[in-house]
Amino acid sequence: MNNLYIGNFNLYQLIWYFFIYAFLGWISEVVFAALKTGKFVNRGFLNGPVCPIYGFGIIIILLALDKVKDNLFVLFFASFLLTSVLEFLTGFILEKFFHKKWWDYSKEILNIKGYVCVRFSLIWAIACIFVINLVQPLIFNLVEILPEILGAIILTVFIVVFVLDFSFTVYQILQFSKNSKTLEKLERQLKKSSNKLGESVAAITLKAQEKWEKLNKKIKSSRLIKAFPSLHKKSDKSAFDNTIDDNEDNKN
């Protein structure tokens, strides 16, 4: 795998990047859902703790934009266009294949058939700059530190489990026969492990939110705020909370 290159990356690196970013994407979805609902919600498409769309999306972005990563102006607009195309095609294909709309931006201004909108395309563009210039160097070092033989063994296990999980999930969605007891057992085990991990992530997120609310409450009651009440905006929700709500409304 180390001898087969696609762009500036070898196949070994790209497969690792796919699984790492698919997992980080799943974590982000769990965190958003926990902040919105106050509990753990497994929002992943598969039974395992991965969101493939994040993995595939980042791989395409890394391959397409690696050469312009040092020019922030070009990187931003290229990211804006590329993520818009990727999101539109993904949403269109998923709806045609599964007869279900996985997210809907119809209520957003300047949207195209609910698949993409300007506001979220801008968010994805900013996220791309963050990932390419800050996150990716860390992920690169992490993959390079791992011994090659051990890394290949782990990847083999990941690939086998992922293919089985993906195949059985699609099998179920398309409502074919469900007589494979082996796959059903694997599905239950993956779901159980995924839920356990997700519940831990959700608990940490909610605990952090609780601490932030207590800190915010202390700040509101502080002597400085009482002396200068104009420093405090009377708002029941933070901008961050509103962003989460908007994101959930668009995806539901």
The answer to whether the pTM exceeds 0.95 is no
pLDDT at 99: 76
Residue pair 117/109 in contact by the 8 Å Cβ criterion:
yes
Q: Which residues of 169-193 are buried (b: 16+ CB within 10 A; e: fewer)?
A: beeeeeeeeeeeeebeebbeebbee
Closest CA to 124 of 247, 229, 35, 232: 247
Instruction: Give the start-to-end residue ranges of the domains of the chain.
Output: 5-251
Closest CA to 47 of 152, 185, 165: 165
pLDDT tens string 122-180 = 999 999 999 999 999 999 999 999 998 999 999 999 999 999 888 887 777 666 544 44
Residue pair 56/62 in contact by the 8 Å Cβ criterion:
no
Q: Rounded to the nearest 5 degrees, what angle is found at the Cα of 74, between the Cα atoms of 72 and 75? A: 60
Q: What percent of the chain has pLDDT over 70?
A: 65
CB atoms within 10 A of CB 83: 22
54-63, 78-87, 91-100, range with the lowest pLDDT: 91-100
Residues 6 or more apart in contact with residue 21 via CB below 8 angstroms: 54, 55, 57, 58, 59, 139
pLDDT tens string 195-250 = 666 666 666 766 676 766 766 666 556 555 555 555 455 444 444 455 555 555 55
